[in-house]
């Protein structure tokens, strides 16, 4: 089975740099992301592919490789969450491009394990993760996705702490890929018309 065949149940891991969609589409959208271990890159790729399927020309790039926003009519910007915050390179990108991002439809997304917590107080906390970003640029939409964490990559006390955090988030003790391709696709479909305005 190829990745395209099982795309409803599969999200890649990695740091994609992609050009997607028909070249004659009317709008070009940038999906820019910051990813520490590759799970957020996979979410960004799924968002990009979904937007392209709906008729947009989409470029998917890590924020560090984006040189200009001049060619884009809309932007989707996202990051992994570490310590309750976007990764520093995503914040730097937002600040450096604040003027342009305020002029075009811009959506935010975040990827983190706390998204799995369902209590109202936890969801309120997750909602505060992007408070500083919202103060710079008002997004047309925000996507929140559960991420991936592999505790085998963290030995000793760090691994113990990671296992404890995963359990606290209601995801068991072993770690793994908790991303939900259907949720990512549904959000990308919902944000498409907002980006095309």
pLDDT in tens, 117-131: 888 887 888 888 999
The residue with greater pLDDT, 57 or 167, is 57
Give mean pLDDT, residues 180-193. 96
Please report the pLDDT score of residue 164 as a whole number.
65
Q: Domain for residue 100, yes or no?
A: yes
> Which among 160, 171, 164 has a CA at the least distance from the CA of 115?
171
Residue 157 lies in a domain: no
pLDDT tens for 124-150 read 888 889 999 999 999 999 999 998 877
Count up the domains in the chain and report the number.
Answer: 1
Q: How far is CA 61 from CA 45, 77, 194, in A?
A: 9, 10, 21
Comparing C-alpha atoms, which of 55, 88, 93, 87 is closest to residue 75?
93
Assigned domain for 154 exists: no
pLDDT for position 127: 85
User: What pLDDT, on the 0 to 100 scale, is given for residue 190?
Assistant: 97
DSSP one-letter string for 45-100: HHHHHHHHHTT-EEEEEEGGG----TT-SEEEEEEEEETTEE-HHHHHHHHHTHHH
Of 12-16, 99-103, 119-123, give the lowest mean pLDDT range. 119-123
Q: Using CA atoms, how far apart are residues 69 and 73, in angstroms rounded to an integer? A: 9
112 burial via Cβ count (<10 Å: 0-12, 13-18, 19+): buried
Q: What would the pLDDT profile of 3-12 be if each residue is shown by its tens digit? A: 343 445 578 8
Q: Give 154-185 pLDDT, tens digit per residue.
A: 667 666 676 767 777 777 767 788 899 999 99
Q: Is the pLDDT of residue 1 over 60?
A: no
Predicted local distance difference test score (pLDDT) of residue 119 = 80
Tell whether 132 is covered by a domain: yes
The answer as to whether 174 is a domain residue is no
* Buried-state track 42-75, b at ≥16 Cβ within 10 A, e below 16: bbbbbbbbbbbeeebbbbbbbbeebeebeebbbb
Answer yes or no: is 31 within a domain: yes
Does a structural domain hold residue 129? yes
In 3D, which of 140, 144, 164, 162 has the Cα closest to residue 152?
162
The answer to whether 47 and 89 are in contact (CB under 8 A) is no
Residue listed under structure tokens 């075009």: 104
Average pLDDT, the chain: 87
The Cα 16–Cα 28 span in angstroms is: 17
Residue 12 lies in a domain: no
- Residue 94: give its domain's CATH number: 3.40.50.360
Range of the domain at 143: 18-148+179-195
């Amino acid at each position: 089975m190829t990745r395209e065949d099982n795309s409803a149940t599969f999200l890649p891991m990695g740091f994609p740099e992609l050009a997607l969609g028909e070249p004659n589409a009317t709008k070009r959208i940038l999906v820019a992301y910051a990813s520490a271990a590759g799970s957020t890159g996979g979410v960004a790729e799924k968002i990009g592919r979904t937007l392209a399927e709906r008729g947009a020309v989409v470029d998917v790039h890590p924020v560090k490789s984006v040189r200009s926003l001049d060619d884009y009519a809309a932007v989707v910007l996202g990051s992994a969450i570490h310590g309750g915050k976007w990764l520093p390179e995503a914040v730097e990108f937002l600040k450096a491009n604040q003027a342009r991002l305020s002029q075009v439809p811009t959506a935010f997304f975040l990827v983190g394990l706390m998204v799995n917590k369902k209590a109202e107080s936890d969801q309120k906390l997750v909602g505060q993760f992007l408070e500083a970003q919202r103060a710079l640029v008002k997004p047309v939409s925000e996507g929140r996705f559960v991420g991936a964490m592999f505790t085998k990559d963290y030995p000793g006390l760090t691994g113990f702490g990671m296992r404890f955090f995963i359990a606290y988030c209601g995801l068991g003790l072993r770690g793994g890929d908790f991303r939900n391709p259907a949720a990512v696709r549904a959000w990308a479909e919902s944000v498409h018309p907002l980006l095309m305005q």
